[in-house]
Amino acid sequence: MKLHLTGPSNTKLNDTITITGSKSESNRSLLLAALFSDIKIENISNSDDAQVMAKGLKISEGTVDIHHAGTAMRFLTGYFASQEGKEVVLTGSKRMTERPIEILVDALKTLGAEISYVQDEGYPPIKIKGQRIVKDKVSLPANVSSQYISSLLLIAPSLENGLELELVGKITSVPYIKMTLALLDEIGVTTSFEGNLIKVSPKAKVAPTTLVVESDWSSASYFYGICALAAPGTEITLSAYKKESLQGDSVLANIYTAFGVETTFSNNMVTLKKTDKKIDAKNEFDLANAPDIAQTIAVTCFGLGVGCYLTGLHTLKIKETDRLEALNTELSKLGANIAVTDKTLTIVPSIGILEDIAIDTYNDHRMAMAFAPLAMKTTIIINDAEVVSKSYPDFWNDLKQLDFGIKEL
C-alpha cells in the first residue's frame, strides 16, 4: 500500500488521540501472565508484535513464527528454553534471521538450556528443547541489545533458584531493563540492580495482580513530530499516559522542549502544545537509552530546517532494518544534508523539502511513521505504508482524525 500524504488544511491543530498500549510493556506482561496464571492485563497493545507474542506463548510444539517482532523472538527464546516438555523451532521474517541472538543463546546454554541453530550460527531460526533450569549465575555482554537481558529477567522468578546476572560492557537501552524489573516488582518479585549485577529471587506463586499497560510512548513520538512542525498554538492531547512512566521514550517530553513543544500531564492524558520558542540551529542528543525515537527526532530536525548531532545509535543497525542507512538514503532523497557513522547521525541545517518524494520503509514501521509528520511541510509518499501495524495499526486512521489528507495510490 502506497499512501500520498498532505497536511491538514488548518495547520493549527486541536484534537485528542487514544493510542494503543506499549508493545514493550505488553510483551513483558504477556510472558509474565503465561508464567503466573493470577496475572491479568489491561490496555494491551493491538500491535502485530503483541499478537504474535500472545500466539507464540500458546504453542507447545512445532514452529513458532514471530515475523518481525524482536521482543517476541528474544523473550520467547528464554521462555521456551525454561519450559520443560515443550519443543519448538522459533523463527521469523527474513530480517529476523539477520538479527543476532547468540549472546542470549550462549547465556541460556550456560544455565543449562538445550538450543541449536537451524541455519546460521548465531541467528534465528533456533530449535529449543525446554529444560528445568537450576543453575542461577551467568554473565553476558550488555552493549548489543537489552532484550537479551530482559528475556533472562522475565523467566528468572520462575526458575528454581532465581537468577544472578553479571552485565559485561557498557549497558545499552537501560530503561528497558528497568521496565522489566519494575514489572517484576509490581507482581511482588524481589529484585536488585546495583552496578553491573542484577539479582532476581524465585517466586512460586503471585498474588492476583492486574498489570495496566500505559499507552505507547514511542508511538507518541510521531505526534511530537507533528506538533513541532505545526503552527504555534497547536495542541494535541494523547491518552492514556502518566508522568511516572516505565517507558524510557517518555524522555520525549524533555527532548521536544528544544523544538518548541511543551508537555503537560492531567487525568491520564498528555497534552503537547507548540509554542513560538526560537529553535536552535544545532541540537545534540545521546539516544543510547531511547533508540526507538532516533528516526522521529532526525526527521523533526530536517522538517524544521535545523541541524542535529545524534549519538548513542550503535543499536540501530540491527533493528528492523539498518536504520542509519535507511535514514541516510531517505532523508537525502528529500534534500537533506546528512551524514551517518555506525553510531551517530548528523544533519546540517538546510532550506526546503522536495515535494512528492516516495519514501521507502524497509519493513520498518518507524520509517513510515517517522516520515509522515513531514506532510505538515510538504506532500510526501510513503511506500508499503501497512508496515505500521508492527507497533501501531491505527496510525493512518489517527492521522486522518487530525485531518491529514491520505490517498492510496
Ligand X SMILES: O=C(O)C1=C[C@@H](OP(=O)(O)O)[C@@H](O)[C@H](O)C1
Burial 248-274 (b: 16+ CB within 10 A, else e): bbbbbbebbebbbbebeeeeebbbbbb
Task: State yes or no: is 322 an active-site residue.
Answer: no
Q: What is the dihedral of CA 382, 385, 390, 394, to 10 degrees?
A: 110
CB of 149 to ligand X, least distance (A): 8
Q: Give least dist CB 336 to ligand PEP, A.
A: 21
- In the region spanning residues 36 to 75, those forming contacts with ligand X, defined by CB under 6 A, are 71
Q: 145 among the known binding-site residues?
A: yes
Minimum gap (Å) between residue 176 Cβ and ligand X: 4
Which residue shows C-alpha cell 504453542? Answer: 59
Indicate which of ligand X, ligand PEP, none lies near residue 283 (CB less than 5 to 8 Å, by partner kind): none
- 28 labelled as ligand-binding? yes
Per CB under 6 A, the list member of 291, 303, 307, 312 interacting with ligand X is: 291
* 323 assigned binding-site residue: yes
Nearer residue to ligand PEP within complex by CB, 72 or 331:
72
On whether 150 is known to bind a ligand per the annotation, the reply is no
Q: How many amino acids of this chain bind ligand X (CB under 6 A)?
A: 12
* C-alpha–C-alpha distance, residues 31 and 211, integer Å: 12
Burial of 348 (0-12, 13-18, 19+ CB in 10 A): middle
List phi, psi (to 5°) of 61.
-150, 160
Nearer to ligand PEP, 300 or 378 (CB): 300
**Which of 48, 216, 292, 364: binder of ligand X (CB under 6 A)?**
292
The residue from 79, 80, 176, 371 that contacts ligand X (CB under 6 A) is 176
* 250 interacts with, out of ligand X, ligand PEP, none, CB within 5 to 8 A per kind: none
The response to whether 70 counts as a known ligand-binding position is yes
| Residue selected from 43, 45, 77, 147 as contacting ligand X according to rule CB under 6 A | 147
d(CA 251, CA 230): 21
Q: Can you say whether residue 405 is alpha, beta or left, with left for phi > 0 and alpha for psi between -120 and 50 degrees?
A: beta
Of the candidates 68, 21, 66, the residue with the CA atom closest to the CA atom of residue 46: 21
Grid cell, residue 409, equals 495510490
Shortest Cβ 271–ligand X spacing (Å): 25
Spatial neighbors of 275 by CB under 8 A, at least 6 apart, are 232, 260, 261, 262
Q: Rounded distance, CA 227 to CA 40, Å?
A: 35
Q: Tell me which of ligand PEP, ligand X, none is bound by residue 146, counting a contact when its beta carbon lies within the kind-specific cut-off of 5 to 8 angstroms.
A: ligand X
Q: Which residues contact 315 (CB under 8 A, 6 or more apart)?
A: 144, 145, 172, 173, 288, 291
When asked if residue 173 is in the footprint of ligand X (CB under 6 A), the reply is: yes
Q: Which is nearer to ligand X, 36 or 176 (CB)?
A: 176
Residues that bind ligand PEP (CB under 6 A): 68-71, 292, 319-320, 366, 391
Feature table: binding site for 3-phosphoshikimate = 23-24, 28, 145-147, 173, 292, 319
